[in-house]
């Protein structure tokens, strides 16, 4: 284990550690653009300059290994001078129009400029004109003038997604990143290149110019887009959620997440949500408060269980809820009411075990494993095909559905909703509004639930790793968590005065309306 001294701080590192990693380990700031912990070393930005005692020349920290007894600093005058000039070279052709750039506020170049900038540039020549607003594919827009050619995105497509679309073409100050013959950059991991772009060259079509990043708050959460459970930050403000970015977790997702997972912010926003409870059937809906609806449903359910037997009730559950919610749901239905007919609604049985080799899995539920474990523990093994038969035969009076939170991953939603609405009474608990349920012909209760960003809980991913999610914000005030809905059904009273305040800003601005399509 080599020992080294970083800016006067003695630390011990693993053999094979680079100087820049040692700086990170010591918690000392060091300038860098091209180096990324999840990618190979390029050594092109020349900003992670360090002075090593005993060596005449400055070295780049990213490509220098720590050796025993190395004494390194990046605070000496020569280092500061080198970084200042390195930065000035980066800015020769980079436009200095930060106020109109979408990256402003989270830009590596902007941050470094504040620290090390030569505020008076030496370059007298006019800047090179390059391509602006290049449509790089379905998800990304490229501005080649802002690009500083760090090659992170090129290395990403070479090393992580292994799709090799991007390259640096031409040379000298005419160098540009791009794709061969302007083919689209179209893979399920393309938006990671936007995340790792240290400047505003690669921007996400879904997010660019919708919000200023300094107005957004972030909530640490877990992606509910599939059973991998990538760790993410959800960015939100008082108008709702705007984007999702990955957070490093070596055990789960490394530094990345897929493009499909980034869509999960869309279904938590008001436009996609069931906002109040509805009772009635097709075209004749009466609105009522969610809590009241849950109480009414609970009264009827308990009545039916008492007089006609629990066999008259069927419970259908999707893999979209937290472990805590499953526990309270099953405690009430299986425990209190003694319902044995609990069905696991699998959205796409054909490719439930699918996996693309990087992160994305065919099972597009965050908590299939948690649900399966809980059903198994209680010995609940109902065959899905059985449900349709029994509904047709009129065996069930009530079908209670803990439906999908994310409708878009349930391709069979319409047919299944239709099939279930053949029962005399349908209770649909869900966060999402859906036309399929709105056109139900039977007596139906729709009860609004909360999404993953609005509740605390635990998801179990495909390998059985339990990950906690924390409440970030409340978007639909009238929504309940599944546990709250179940408590109300069982006749308990809840003190809603303790609940967090909902978002109050109801204005609909242009950008909210334009927020990524569902």
Partner 1 sequence: MFSLSEEGVAFVKRELNRYEDRRSAVIPALYRVQKENKGWVSPESVTYLSHLMDIPSAWIEEVLTFYTMFNKRPVGKYHVQVCCNISCSMNGGREMADHLCSTLKLKEDEVSGDGRYTISRVECLGACDKAPMMQVNDDYHEGLTNDKAVEILRGLK
CA–CA separation, 19 and 14 (whole Å)? 11
Quote the least distance from Cβ 142 to partner 1, whole Å: 14
CA–CA separation, 317 and 403 (whole Å)? 7
Cβ proximity to partner 1, 170 vs 509, nearer residue: 170
CB 48 within 8 A of CB 32: yes
Is position 286 an interface residue for partner 1 (rule: CB under 8 A)?
no
Is position 182 an interface residue for partner 1 (rule: CB under 8 A)?
no
Is position 451 an interface residue for partner 1 (rule: CB under 8 A)?
no
Output the six-digit token pair for 493: 């009273």
Is position 503 an interface residue for partner 1 (rule: CB under 8 A)?
no
Relative orientation angle of helices 77-90 and 108-116, to the nearest 10 degrees: 140
Quote the least distance from Cβ 127 to partner 1, whole Å: 21
Single out the residue of 202, 198, 196 nearest to residue 141, CA to CA.
202
CB 325 within 8 A of CB 457: yes
Of 142, 166, 301, 380, which one interacts with partner 1 (CB under 8 A)? Answer: 166
Is position 167 an interface residue for partner 1 (rule: CB under 8 A)?
yes
Hey, how many other C-beta atoms are within 10 angstroms of the C-beta on 28? 17
Is position 40 an interface residue for partner 1 (rule: CB under 8 A)?
no
CA–CA separation, 257 and 352 (whole Å)? 19
Is position 185 an interface residue for partner 1 (rule: CB under 8 A)?
no
Quote the least distance from Cβ 64 to partner 1, whole Å: 23
Q: How far is CA 8 from the centre of its chain?
A: 39
Of 123, 133, 180, 338, which one interacts with partner 1 (CB under 8 A)? Answer: 180
Cβ proximity to partner 1, 150 vs 166, nearer residue: 166
Cβ proximity to partner 1, 71 vs 168, nearer residue: 168
132-161 binders of partner 1 (CB under 8 A): 158
> With CB under 8 A as the contact rule, which of the stretches 6-14, 164-172, 415-423, 457-465 interacts with partner 1?
164-172
Quote the least distance from Cβ 164 to partner 1, whole Å: 3
Q: In 399-425, which positions are buried (b, 16+ CB within 10 angstroms) versus exposed (e)?
A: bbbbbbbbbbbbeebeebbeebbbbeb
Of 40, 55, 170, 248, which one interacts with partner 1 (CB under 8 A)? Answer: 170
Quote the least distance from Cβ 166 to partner 1, whole Å: 6
CA–CA separation, 99 and 107 (whole Å)? 12
> With CB under 8 A as the contact rule, which of the stretches 71-79, 166-174, 254-262, 271-279 interacts with partner 1?
166-174
CA–CA separation, 255 and 488 (whole Å)? 41
Single out the residue of 363, 437, 444, 369 nearest to residue 399, CA to CA.
444
Quote the least distance from Cβ 42 to partner 1, whole Å: 14
What does the binding site for partner 1 look like in residue numbers (CB under 8 A)?
Answer: 158, 164-171, 179-181
């Amino acid at each position: 284990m080599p020992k080294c001294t970083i800016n006067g701080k003695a630390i011990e590192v693993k053999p094979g550690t680079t100087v820049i990693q040692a700086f990170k380990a010591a918690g000392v700031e060091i300038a860098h653009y091209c180096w990324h912990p999840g990618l190979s070393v390029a050594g092109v930005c020349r900003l992670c300059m360090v002075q090593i005692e005993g060596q005449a020349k400055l070295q780049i920290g990213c490509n220098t290994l720590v050796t025993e007894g190395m004494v390194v600093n990046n605070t000496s005058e020569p280092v500061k001078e080198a970084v200042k000039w390195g930065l000035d070279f980066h800015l020769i052709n980079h436009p200095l129009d930060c106020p109109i750039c979408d990256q402003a506020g989270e830009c590596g170049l902007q941050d470094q400029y504040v620290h090390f900038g030569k505020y008076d540039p030496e370059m007298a020549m006019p800047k090179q004109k390059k391509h602006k607003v290049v449509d790089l594919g379905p998800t990304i827009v490229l501005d080649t003038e802002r690009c500083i050619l760090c090659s992170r995105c090129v290395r990403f497509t070479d090393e992580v997604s292994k799709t090799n679309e991007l390259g640096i073409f031409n040379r000298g100050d005419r160098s540009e990143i791009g794709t061969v013959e302007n083919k689209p950059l179209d893979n399920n991991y393309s938006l990671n290149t936007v995340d790792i772009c240290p400047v505003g060259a690669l921007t996400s079509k879904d997010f660019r110019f919708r919000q200023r990043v300094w107005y957004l708050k972030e909530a640490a959460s877990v992606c509910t887009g599939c059973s991998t459970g990538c760790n993410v930050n959800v960015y939100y403000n008082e108008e709702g959620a705007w984007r999702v970015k990955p957070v490093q977790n070596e055990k789960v997702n490394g530094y990345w997440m897929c493009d499909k997972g980034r869509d999960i912010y869309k279904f938590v926003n008001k436009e996609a949500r069931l906002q109040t409870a509805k009772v009635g059937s097709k075209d004749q809906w009466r609105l009522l408060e969610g809590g009241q609806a849950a109480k009414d449903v609970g009264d009827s359910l308990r009545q039916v269980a008492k007089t006609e037997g629990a066999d008259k009730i069927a419970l259908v559950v999707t893999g979209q809820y937290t472990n805590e919610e499953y526990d309270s749901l099953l405690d009430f239905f299986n425990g209190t009411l003694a319902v044995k007919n609990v069905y696991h609604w699998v959205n796409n049985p054909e490719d439930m075990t699918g996996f693309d080799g990087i992160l994305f899995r065919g099972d597009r539920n965050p908590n299939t494993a948690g649900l399966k474990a809980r059903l198994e523990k209680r010995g609940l093994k109902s065959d899905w095909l059985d449900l349709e038969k029994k509904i047709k035969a009129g065996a069930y009076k009530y079908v209670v559905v803990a439906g999908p939170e994310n409708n878009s991953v349930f391709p069979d939603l319409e047919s299944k909703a239709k099939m279930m609405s053949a029962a005399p009474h349908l209770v649909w608990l869900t966060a999402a509004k859906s036309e399929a349920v709105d056109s139900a012909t039977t007596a139906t209760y729709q009860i609004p639930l909360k999404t993953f960003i609005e509740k605390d809980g635990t998801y179990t991913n495909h390998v059985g790793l339990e990950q906690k999610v924390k409440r970030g914000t409340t978007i639909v005030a009238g929504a309940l968590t599944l546990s709250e809905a179940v408590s109300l059904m069982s006749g308990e009273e809840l003190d809603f005065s303790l609940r967090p305040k909902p978002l109050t800003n109801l204005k609909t601005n242009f950008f909210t309306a334009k927020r990524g399509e569902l």
